[in-house]
Structure 1
Amino acid sequence: MNPTACPRIVLVTLNARYIHASLGLRYLLANLDRHGGAGLRAQAVLREYTISRPAQAVVVDLLATLGPGPSAEAATGTQIVGFGVYIWNVTQTTEVIRLLKVARPDLKIVLGGPEVSHETDQQAITRLADHVITGWGDVSFAKLCRALLHGPPPLMKIIPGEQPPLAELNLPYGEYSDSDLAHRLLYVEASRGCPFKCEFCLSALDKTAWAFELDRVLAALDVLHQRGARTFKFVDRTFNLKIEHSVRILQFFLERLPPPNTPASAQLFLHFEVIPDHLPERLRAMLAQFPPGVLQLEVGVQSFNVVVQQTISRRQDNDATEANLRWLLAHTHAHLHVDLIFGLPGETLQSFADGFDRLLAIGPHEIQLGILKRLRGAPIARHSAAHGMVYAPEPPYTVQHTGVVDAATLQRFGRLARYWELLANSGRFAQTLPLLLYPSPVDGSAVVSPFWRFMAFSSWLWQRQGSTHRLTPEALVDALFDYLSASLPPASVRQALLADYLASGARANPKALHGLLPRRTASPDKAGRTLATRQHRHRELTPHPNPSSPRHGGSGKG
């Protein structure tokens, strides 16, 4: 497109963070010509923002992109603004559209994404729009643009997305810019859909999983790699469902591993979401070949409670799950990021605690503690009456209480989850955390479970701080010292905290460590620094359920 011309189509989304790059909108761009007619792609541009950017600032930038609007001089004609809408950006996107419509009522506003694919008649954002595409948008958006720009005008506001054979879709990876490759996560996929029916997830609505032709995918990934891409996040719901494909993808990346001592910025980093109870020998053999720092495996355990699993139609062999996690930890260098969800129908705090303790004993690198959210359209809604499920009316629709968990307990758990992120998943307290979770009883008393020990600390810390945010590493060091030294020898607690603080590379001066820190901190311990850095990188990959998913009808974790 001529850079001085006004675009006819602007595709927009508000990402959770700058580092995320919307794969879904790039699919729409890549398929404009194929499914809408030659020349459409040349008239389209992509604009990505973050949810932290003020709505008015987003609108000002969009208006500058769109140009002056219809007039005798401009003669731009119809202009379309398409928004990708997700559970984490719907509130901000609604305000952007409201302001944009005031400034330019002539614009055709088109919505797509999982948040607006269901319950469309109940949402303020859909009332503001001219058209809403539900489900898959790759083909339907292109056809809608053709109709809006060239006629005949569409008759329907709500347009069910057309699901084509995957062979009829252009892959979107050429839409990643050189800047994207250098500074952002690259989302890729080898398949869509999911054969499993876990009711908290929109993928439960899929009838099966569909695989792209693998040679075609690998050829596109090779081009990305040759352009300099080194971080690949696969958004496939079930990467290890089709082992033949999984093995070929892993072999592809094994053949492109950089030599030892390559700078960290040039190292490969791969993220896959895997089924926890399906790890056949061929896949194990491939996973074991990757060196440290390359693989992250996101494993959705969600609950070890068999009754809860049955209630939400989740098929999971818990013994196989545990055995596979232990094998991965013992025989691979993969970083294991394992998810648990609190608030599922019938899950009590005690049964969740039992599951947490079981998972903690296995020893994954991160345990992500989430609270159930009611994704629009997800089948979990069918349990609301029977299990007393009450959800927040505003995004992200977090469960407020259930028939077996009251509101106060859910609030306590929310604080615990935040503190767990700061203390455990941050990697900053590797030596101190065991003192909190596994203290040796000195009075012959029974050992309290790690979950309940952390819950007690969480309640104490909340009383002390009154906040779960803006807690510096130094404030956490002092809090841990005060709490632990009440029941453990202060010298032992201080020694662990000192080792952790130095290893993290922090350079302030916590009160608990006065007189113990060197005047100028030497280069921090490499192993500790590497752990903290690696943990941060892993969290960058998994801050939200499926950021900017290309599946306009799917979201949430499987």
Structure 2
Amino acid sequence: MKILLTTLNSKFIHTNLAIRYIKECSKDIRDIELKEYTINNQMDFILKEIYRGGYDAVFFSVYIWNVEDILRLCRNLKSVKPDMIIGLGGPEVSYDSEKLMKKYPFIDYIMYGEGEITFRELCMMFRNEKDIKDIKGIVYRDGENIHVNDERPLIENLDIIPSPYDNMNPEEYKNRIVYYESSRGCPFNCQYCLSSAIKGLRYFSIERIKKDLKNLIEAEVAQIKFIDRTFNAKKKTAMEIMSFLMENDNGFTTYHFEVTAHLIDDEMLEFLKNCKPGLFQFEIGVQSTDPFVLEACGRKDNFERLSNVVKQIESYKNIHQHLDLIAGLPYENYRGFEKSFNDVYRLGIEQLQLGFLKMIKGTGIRKTADMHDFRYKNYPPYEVLSNRYISYDEILKLKDIEEMVERYYNSGNFSLSIKYLVEKFYMDSPFRFYEEFSEFYNSRGYFSVSQGRNENYRILLEFYEEKIGMNVELFRDMLKFDYVSTGKTSNVPSFMVRNYPDDFKNRCHIFLQEDENVKKYIPKYEGIPAKNIIKNVRFEPFRYDVKNYNLNEEPLENECVYMFDYNISKIFEKSHSFKVEI
């Protein structure tokens, strides 16, 4: 019997952990193949691949981003090969398995809950070594009847799951993103999160974790994303893992963690101070800064402590921080979300993610949706449309604001100009800037047309001229500084100041030919000919010294030249800039 384990990842660079665990648990009793596709592959291509593979059974790992495509594939596979056994597993099919089996007659099995042992026993059943009635965690079809077997107990000793990273093929993982778990479960009970449906927190042994990570580091994966819901739930374990990663840094692989900031104490802060810049990324779920809203969601947090921790880590300039908010939570209206937004925005972190509540199957908030008059999409990802506290019109406004935040804040392409705009004119409520800017976008029809790089800058200038209207030339220089700082360009757009002296290019070369200049500003280029250095730097004249401009002072023209160096690590900045005399 030939079996395929597969899934549709959201991107090619991603890897699926679930099917690897399942394969390792059963490879001693069954010949099993593993293949990964993406939601961007043509469905006809995947259908052809699986059909021509000659498989007797195919099992899919199912999530909110791939469930609809997988169901279409399964329907067609059953049409062209009626004898093929089709099974599903994963979070998107674990909480309404019987309903799905009744709705989709082409599904033969659904594994619900943790699937490693369930699939192994199913393989044994295929060899007549196990009775289907004795397999826990399985839903199966018997003629017209659907049978739901008892729930499978959680695996207490996670180390019994064989590692997929022993005897691995490094080429399979090189330059890819690997999802990794050091634990299962979560100590918290957030009702919008699927982890709230599983009680308890279980860890792999530290020896197992280190062995896995060492193998992945040697394979030079691009990034390891820890999928632990609260990576720092146990401080000692978290610090031991991070210490190991710091000691075994290969200069290439980076690490992403979901952490709870208020659990980071002074000892861990002192430890993090010594981390190499760019090695770690922290995703911190704030969701809301209203204690009443958080309590209604079953979430515990301490925003004052979180703020102190985030600011302290920010001061180290070595860890990229990504903070999340969720719109549509119970009891939080539009203006309440504005306050949460402002609270987080003022922390000055690298990225602020505006998410929208997803009424995920199996979560407490979905089970109590009627209590708050929730309306949500009846298809994945089940995103909220409205509730008793926020209207669909307001959700749509937040969607537009989310787009502005992504484009103009999270991109890092407008650092100086957005900082000036918000701190000078919108400090009472940064949210109001993005609100007004998104309304401006709508009024001009810009959301309906794809915008290129230059257009994004031009539109921001247009907004500034119309809505602010003061010191326009200063702001134009700020936009140019942002534009030039984001990457080497052969020219700047015509709507930016372009006052180049006739001999400007020659003066730039002369500057780089002077050893003292190179030694003072860009010593890494010492001994390199100017014609080679110029490939990595750019000189740009400005009417105002915008980088050193004081918000509290009247702007005065102060013509100057900045040199931008693009040959840097680009962890927190896209270039280094220096004011120079040429």
Normalised by the shorter chain, which TM-score bucket? 0.7 to 0.9
The aligned counterpart of 1:437 is 422
Q: Does 1:455 align with 2:435?
A: yes
Secondary structure, counterpart of 1:457 in structure 2: helix
Looking at structure 2, the residues matched to 296 and 334 of structure 1 have their Cα atoms a distance apart, in angstroms, of 6
Equivalent residue runs for 1:293-372 within 5 Å: 293-331=278-316, 333-372=318-357
Change (3 A) 1:31 1:449: same
Q: Does 1:164 align with 2:171?
A: no
Looking at structure 1, the residues matched to 237 and 254 of structure 2 have their Cα atoms a distance apart, in angstroms, of 19
Change (3 A) 1:388 1:527: farther
The aligned counterpart of 1:83 is 60
Equivalent residue runs for 1:18-33 within 5 Å: 18-33=12-27
Shift of 1:468: 6.8
The aligned counterpart of 2:481 is 499
Deviations 1:483-542 (A, max 9, x none): 01221322122111111111222647545237469999964634697548889xxxxxxx
Equivalent residue runs for 1:17-166 within 5 Å: 17-33=11-27, 38-40=28-30, 43-64=31-52, 66-67=53-54, 79-123=56-100, 127-150=105-128, 154-155=132-133, 156-157=139-140, 158=148, 160-165=151-156, 166=158
Change (3 A) 1:505 1:127: farther
The aligned counterpart of 1:490 is 472
The aligned counterpart of 1:13 is 7
The aligned counterpart of 2:386 is 401
Shift of 1:461: 1.1
Looking at structure 2, the residues matched to 438 and 422 of structure 1 have their Cα atoms a distance apart, in angstroms, of 18
Normalising by structure 2, report the TM-score: 0.80
Q: Does 1:288 align with 2:273?
A: yes
Shift of 1:299: 0.5
Q: RMSD of aligned C-alpha atoms?
A: 2.6
Contact 1:195 1:206 in 2 (8 A): no
Q: Does 1:211 align with 2:203?
A: yes
Contact 1:338 1:368 in 2 (8 A): yes
Looking at structure 2, the residues matched to 27 and 282 of structure 1 have their Cα atoms a distance apart, in angstroms, of 35
Secondary structure, counterpart of 1:273 in structure 2: strand
The aligned counterpart of 1:414 is 399
Equivalent residue runs for 1:517-532 within 5 Å: 523=537, 525-526=564-565, 531=570
Change (3 A) 1:521 1:352: farther
Contact 1:504 1:529 in 2 (8 A): no
Secondary structure, counterpart of 2:370 in structure 1: coil
Structure 2 alignment gaps of length 5 or more = 134-138, 141-147, 506-533, 539-563, 575-582
Contact 1:390 1:400 in 2 (8 A): yes
Secondary structure, counterpart of 2:13 in structure 1: coil
Looking at structure 2, the residues matched to 273 and 469 of structure 1 have their Cα atoms a distance apart, in angstroms, of 35
Secondary structure, counterpart of 2:371 in structure 1: coil
Looking at structure 2, the residues matched to 195 and 126 of structure 1 have their Cα atoms a distance apart, in angstroms, of 36
Secondary structure, counterpart of 1:491 in structure 2: helix
Among all aligned residue pairs of Structure 1 and Structure 2, give the percentage whose two residues are the same amino acid: 27
Normalising by structure 1, report the TM-score: 0.84
Amino acid at match of 1:20: H
Looking at structure 1, the residues matched to 218 and 42 of structure 2 have their Cα atoms a distance apart, in angstroms, of 37
Looking at structure 1, the residues matched to 451 and 99 of structure 2 have their Cα atoms a distance apart, in angstroms, of 38
Which range moved further: 298-307 or 229-238?
229-238
Q: Which of these residues, 368, 371, 376, is aligned with residue 391 of structure 1?
A: 376
The aligned counterpart of 2:143 is none
Looking at structure 2, the residues matched to 436 and 47 of structure 1 have their Cα atoms a distance apart, in angstroms, of 49
Contact 2:63 2:91 in 1 (8 A): yes
Change (3 A) 1:127 1:494: farther
Contact 1:345 1:383 in 2 (8 A): no
Contact 2:313 2:319 in 1 (8 A): yes
Shift of 1:228: 3.1
Deviations 1:202-241 (A, max 9, x none): 1011211101111121122222223334522111111111
Which range moved further: 154-163 or 245-254?
154-163
Runs ≥4 in structure 1, deviation > 6 angstroms?
Answer: 516-522, 532-535
Contact 2:178 2:224 in 1 (8 A): yes
Q: Which of these residues, 482, 504, 512, is aligned with residue 495 of structure 2?
A: 512
Contact 1:232 1:270 in 2 (8 A): yes
Structure 1 alignment gaps of length 5 or more = 1-6, 70-78, 259-265, 442-446, 536-558
Looking at structure 1, the residues matched to 537 and 75 of structure 2 have their Cα atoms a distance apart, in angstroms, of 51
Contact 1:247 1:282 in 2 (8 A): no
Contact 1:85 1:114 in 2 (8 A): yes
Looking at structure 2, the residues matched to 17 and 509 of structure 1 have their Cα atoms a distance apart, in angstroms, of 34
Secondary structure, counterpart of 1:128 in structure 2: coil
Looking at structure 1, the residues matched to 183 and 311 of structure 2 have their Cα atoms a distance apart, in angstroms, of 27
Amino acid at match of 2:303: N
Number of residue pairs matched? 500
Change (3 A) 1:495 1:141: same
State which structure, 1 or 2, has the greater radius of gyration over its C-alpha atoms. Answer: 2
Looking at structure 2, the residues matched to 180 and 463 of structure 1 have their Cα atoms a distance apart, in angstroms, of 49
Equivalent residue runs for 1:191-210 within 5 Å: 191-210=183-202
Contact 2:293 2:329 in 1 (8 A): yes
